[in-house]
Structure 1
Amino acid sequence: MTIDSSSSRPPAILFMGDMVIVARQLRLITEAHRRGYAPLLVVTPDTDPEELAACRADSAHPLSLLADVVNVAEPKVDLVVPAIQPLLRRYDVRGVLCIGDFFVEPVGMVGACLNLPGAGAGASRTSRNKLLQRTAVPHLSPDFRVVTPESRADFSTDDISFPVVVKPVGRFSSLGVRQVKTAEELPAILATYPEDETVLVESRVVGPEFSVEALTQNSEVIWAGVTGKATNESTGIFFTEMGHTSPARLPEEDVKALLDANAEVLRRIGFGDGITHAEFRLSEGRAVLMEVATRLPGDGITFLWHLATGQPLEPVMIDLALGVPTSYPAPRRRAYQVYLEHPYGSLVDVTSTGAPASWVSVDNNWPVFEPVDADAPPREHAVLVTQRPGATLGPQTDSEARAVSVIFDAPLDAPADGLAEKYTATVTISVTDPAAASDGAAADEGKADRVLADAGSRS
């Protein structure tokens, strides 16, 4: 895109997201700078100001390229819009881009107000609320009931078939999602939620879980891919994602069902421009929507698609934010991320005899991923540690409770048998008081390959 020099203000791209997520997608910052745009960033108190200042002062760190940073108390529209007014006076903002979940709605609203390419105000609002999504696409949703704070005490289960899944309408990363097997258990589970929180009670959809990552421009999907998921739901009441496979190994008719459903969801919520991440289950050939997010995917999924296609996603995301015609290639390899079971205790160290262990939450930087030739042998690319030393490791009840994962890839048609076990075996997680660790950690030896099998390795 040729930058219009008629404005006296420097051209800029406004990013919103806290450092823990921004550090994962630093290529967005470097790409904006490379194109001649001043990278601007909005953060909340979840970003440590001293850590951010240290990164900005380090000329070798990509965050040193930030032209300006604004802090808001909370990622709410009514707080973000006043806070960015000085930026809008000093810079000619040409694009607005969300990095992570928190700022989805402010980014959508600001983009709409500035008449810039983006998700759109309505789609952004809908993507932060599961009840709005169920209302928008009831034919693609599970059977559900709404439990408001006022109706919680006398909520009737007479017309509900168990098991069910209880989901807060406004949370993410599997936070607060619980499986309930019987009607007798439901009142106790409902009582665990804050008094002011609305939740959904949904029928338990049986079938494997997938996500669809899509790139959309001018309301037309220009690329989409299916990622296979593995969760720990079979071992308890939680739904923590423990593995990803991009692209999922699926029959063409299943891929089509997922892509068609995703396109319908994006159409119904009115999504305009950008990247989306929607989660579905396949049940008897039918794609059932779990949730849709108008943002980039979490975990290492952007890097899985980078390894699978040979091209990074971040430059395309910048194109979409600026309204530049763009494209993205089809995958020519298959990439995997597998989370390890860990012993319980205080995290001391993570070592690897394979790829180096990257403490991404400490360094505020993720490793650089280098795609290999399509027919190259399987390769381990990274060991990612997403907790800090001293963190308490316990049950993996949600995404924030996970600690260590490995990322690797292989030729597109190569069997995955043994790969997860091979690469996770290179990693050692050390904690204090290991004798007090759950016996389940040792019993989980070999689970990595089962996780990989669950993460879309189906035929």
Structure 2
Amino acid sequence: MAHPHILVLAGNARILEKAAKLGLRVTNFEKPGTFDPRTVPSCSQLHLFDFQNIRLVTELARTLHAADPFTRIVTHSEIGQVISGHLTTTLGLPGNGLDVTRTLHNKLALRELLNDKGLGPVPVARRTTREDLAAFVTAHGGAVVKPLMGSGSLGVRTVPSAAEVPEVWEWIDAHGVGEFMIEALLNGVELSVETYSDAGRHTVVAVTGKDTKDGVIEQGHVVPAPLTAQDTATVGAFTCAVLDAVGLVDGVAHTEIMLTAGGPRVIESHSRAGGDRISRLVELATGIDLEALPLQRAADPDFTVPVPVLRSAAAVQFLDVPPGLITGVTGVEEAETADGVRELSVRAEIGDVVRPVQWSDDRRGHVVVQAATGAEAVRLAREVAGSITVRTTPVAEVPAPTMREVLAGAHEELDPFS
């Protein structure tokens, strides 16, 4: 009997190797600009083209499916979500269809759906005038402006008071955010809930705590989140209700939550695993590999969702590098051998120019540690990250790239159906 044949969208070498080890035959769709030669050994077929081109991806998937049917479509990339839903619906495969993935991909659509259903309602509006933004901020005590689609906090700004409106409005125009939404600024404990769904049944695998330093870009994460058992149960039940409302039936989901004084509220949700090495933290803390679960489901007809049991804690901390020209990097070798360190990445070469962090990919490195408790993991991660010194010298201010430039560099189209 032939091994199951799956279609993967934008699969990286790590995920494709996991698929190959499970005996899956993999066809991978990837963009030429992001191709990694290390993916080749794990693929039965590899097609390099703009898979966000709806006509091309539909015709190719139909042709390949007719010759050698796919059993499932798997993607952990943000840009693969709506394409995965479209092809799942088009080919009649099990999984989340286009309606589900488009709702999750469009932050305004998700917010309006949850507001309509009374699930943690949050005031929201589409792009409007500067005066209306000021009025919204005044009425709701603060706001967040964000593009309707995207990830990594790209194009997201907080507006704590009406006094910041002129500067934020100028930034919106200069950054080329385009169509955006305004919603009330939420205050509380920021979390994310990592789940796996099978036939519409949702399992909360872990709840992740976050450190944003009062901004929108995460500086660190910890599993498990520092919550009481009651709050953990409340947040998990709320997330499952959100996924039910969206109609998600299959696979990993990453739902960002603010636990406010009035209860949990969704920040955004995605039908994929969380970024920022959250999957690695979950694996260290529970032994469950979120990236592998959809692959295990595709490979094993008798697959059952594992029961999550915390066995330790894990944290990631991102390096804090001052903007400027990098003149030196020290402490990396010592950090690699520090107690509890499980992963270390530093992207800082002498001569590189560091811009102020405007989205997640601007960060220059991270350290992942494992410890007995969450508090100890956070302490160790911060200590090790702080021991790495990236020296910079000021340079003439480099204009921040526009959203269009950032997306072009990432070979990404926010809305392939536009």
TM-score norm. by structure 1 comes to: 0.76
CA change 1:200–1:408 in 2 (3 A) is same
- State the match for 2:112 in structure 1: 135
- Could you tell me how far apart the structure 1 residues matched to 2:363 and 2:270 are? 21
SS at match of 1:92: coil
CA change 1:173–1:262 in 2 (3 A) is same
1:152–1:190 CA contact under 8 A, matched in 2: no
1:378–1:411 CA contact under 8 A, matched in 2: no
CA change 1:417–1:100 in 2 (3 A) is closer
- Could you tell me how far apart the structure 2 residues matched to 1:34 and 1:116 are? 23
1:265 to 242, 253, 271: 242
- State the match for 2:24 in structure 1: 37
* Paired AA for residue 393 in structure 1: V
Structure 1 residue 339 corresponds to structure 2 residue 318: yes
- Could you tell me how far apart the structure 2 residues matched to 1:414 and 1:152 are? 44
- Could you tell me how far apart the structure 2 residues matched to 1:38 and 1:389 are? 42
SS at match of 2:70: strand
1:134–1:141 CA contact under 8 A, matched in 2: no
1:207–1:283 CA contact under 8 A, matched in 2: yes
Question: After alignment, is 298-307 or 218-227 more displaced?
Answer: 218-227
Identity %, equivalent residues:
26
| 1:245-283 C-alpha deviation (Å, 9 max, x unpaired) | 011121012111210110011000000110000001011
Structure 1 residue 76: Cα displacement:
4.7
- State the match for 1:17 in structure 2: 10
CA change 1:39–1:353 in 2 (3 A) is same
- State the match for 2:211 in structure 1: 230
Structure 1 residue 208: Cα displacement:
1.6
| 1:193-242 C-alpha deviation (Å, 9 max, x unpaired) | 47783222111111121000000000001343100011133xxxx41111
Name stretches of at least 5 consecutive residues in structure 1 with no aligned partner.
56-60, 358-376, 439-459
SS at match of 2:219: strand
CA change 1:425–1:187 in 2 (3 A) is closer
CA change 1:349–1:108 in 2 (3 A) is farther
2:161 to 177, 182, 204: 182
Structure 1 residue 401 corresponds to structure 2 residue 362: yes
- State the match for 1:93 in structure 2: 70
CA change 1:30–1:218 in 2 (3 A) is same
- Could you tell me how far apart the structure 2 residues matched to 1:350 and 1:140 are? 48
Structure 1 residue 207 corresponds to structure 2 residue 183: no
SS at match of 1:131: helix
- Could you tell me how far apart the structure 2 residues matched to 1:256 and 1:350 are? 43
2:140 to 152, 158, 161: 161
Structure 1 residue 172 corresponds to structure 2 residue 151: yes
Structure 1 residue 247 corresponds to structure 2 residue 224: yes
Structure 1 residue 114: Cα displacement:
2.7
Structure 1 residue 412: Cα displacement:
3.6
Structure 1 residue 12: Cα displacement:
1.8
- State the match for 1:371 in structure 2: none
2:213–2:219 CA contact under 8 A, matched in 1: yes
Structure 1 residue 63: Cα displacement:
3.7
- Could you tell me how far apart the structure 1 residues matched to 2:133 and 2:379 are? 48
1:419 to 380, 403, 413: 380
CA change 1:175–1:272 in 2 (3 A) is same
* Paired AA for residue 327 in structure 1: V
Structure 1 residue 132: Cα displacement:
0.9
* Paired AA for residue 179 in structure 2: T
1:43–1:70 CA contact under 8 A, matched in 2: yes
Structure 1 residue 277 corresponds to structure 2 residue 258: no
CA change 1:87–1:392 in 2 (3 A) is farther
* Paired AA for residue 326 in structure 1: T
- State the match for 2:263 in structure 1: 286
1:76–1:103 CA contact under 8 A, matched in 2: no
CA change 1:140–1:72 in 2 (3 A) is farther
Question: After alignment, is 117-126 or 342-351 more displaced?
Answer: 342-351
SS at match of 2:140: coil
1:75–1:106 CA contact under 8 A, matched in 2: yes
SS at match of 1:278: strand
* Paired AA for residue 356 in structure 2: P
Structure 1 residue 244: Cα displacement:
0.5
1:350–1:385 CA contact under 8 A, matched in 2: no
Structure 1 residue 351: Cα displacement:
5.0
- Could you tell me how far apart the structure 2 residues matched to 1:162 and 1:297 are? 30
1:305–1:331 CA contact under 8 A, matched in 2: no
1:384 to 324, 345, 362: 345
CA change 1:417–1:90 in 2 (3 A) is closer
- Could you tell me how far apart the structure 1 residues matched to 2:369 and 2:177 are? 43
CA change 1:391–1:271 in 2 (3 A) is farther
Structure 1 residue 83 corresponds to structure 2 residue 67: no
CA change 1:83–1:232 in 2 (3 A) is farther
* Paired AA for residue 203 in structure 1: A
Question: After alignment, is 241-250 or 82-91 more displaced?
Answer: 82-91
- State the match for 1:327 in structure 2: 305
CA change 1:12–1:389 in 2 (3 A) is farther
TM-score norm. by structure 2 comes to: 0.83
CA change 1:98–1:250 in 2 (3 A) is same
CA change 1:195–1:413 in 2 (3 A) is closer
- Could you tell me how far apart the structure 2 residues matched to 1:414 and 1:208 are? 16
The structure whose residues are more often helix, as a share, is 2
* Paired AA for residue 65 in structure 2: L
- Could you tell me how far apart the structure 2 residues matched to 1:93 and 1:286 are? 42
| 1:90-131 C-alpha deviation (Å, 9 max, x unpaired) | 433112101210010011121233333322222111111011
SS at match of 1:84: helix
SS at match of 1:291: strand
1:45–1:73 CA contact under 8 A, matched in 2: yes
- Could you tell me how far apart the structure 2 residues matched to 1:340 and 1:282 are? 26
